[in-house]
Amino acid sequence: MLALALIAPATLRCGKSEAPTAGGASKAAAPAQPEGPMSLDPVAAKPADLKPGLKLTTFPNNTFSGNSESTIASVLGFDCDRNPYHNKEVSLRYEGYLKVDTAGEYCFQTASDDQSTFSLNKKPVIVQAQSGVTKNRRVTLKEGLYEIGVDYQNNVGPACFRIGWSKTGCGGYVEIPASQLLH
């Protein structure tokens, strides 16, 4: 299973870290601004009935169709510099539960090349429709379990998907610990 590289405590990046300006000069890309906040309630699932990791289904194309292969992933996302998806069409679907130990406002951040959708309780939290863009969103969560779903697709070229969370506002993102991911 691929391991997610440590996420820098600032902004996740996939590929380009600089944005071109008029005239062709480059400047550092502005930090992603959070989308509107949302609030969710936990689902009625019991941690004792669940196992560690998320179900990961891999499709050999970017359309989530055809012969698929399922495994259990201990992390959500993959290393953007070294992965088997580079220059290949692929779709990945992560499914399971996110365990929240402490109620509060969390901020989630995604970076992907190409498209991705991160959902909690089947409600889209972050929809990443454009490559090389970092997005984040504040979500108020109570203690408990939340159904987590992530769809990622790579069309061609580089492949990248990273997701992080912060319990202290939108900054200082870290990888979601494996202990918080269940299926």
For the segment 150-173, what is each residue's pLDDT rounded down to a tens digit?
999 999 889 999 999 998 778 899
| pLDDT at position 164 | 94
Distance CA 17, CA 14 (A): 8
- Express each pLDDT in 129-138 by its tens digit: 888 788 999 9
Contact assessment for residue 29 and residue 40, using Cβ atoms and an 8 Å cutoff = no
| pLDDT at position 17 | 34
Average pLDDT over residues 98-103: 96
Q: Count of H helices and E strands in the chain?
A: 0, 15
Q: Is the pLDDT of residue 98 over 90?
A: yes
- Express each pLDDT in 56-90 by its tens digit: 999 999 999 999 999 999 999 998 888 999 999 99
Locate 77 and state its tokens: 């996302």
The letter for the amino acid at 17 is: S
Q: Is the pLDDT of residue 127 over 80?
A: yes
Superfamily of domain 51-176: Galactose-binding domain-like (2.60.120.260)
Distance CA 106, CA 129 (A): 22
Question: Any idea where the domains of the chain sit in the sequence?
Answer: 51-176
- Express each pLDDT in 3-58 by its tens digit: 333 333 344 555 433 332 333 333 334 444 556 789 999 999 988 899 999 999 99
Residue 110 vs residues 65, 119, 127: alpha-carbon distances, Å: 24, 11, 9
Question: Percentage of residues in the chain with pLDDT exceeding 70?
Answer: 81
The secondary structure of the chain in percent helix, strand, coil, rounded to multiples of 5, reads: 5, 50, 45
pTM, 2 dp = 0.81
Distance CA 122, CA 113 (A): 22
Which one, of 99, 15, 92, lies nearest residue 49 by Cα? 99
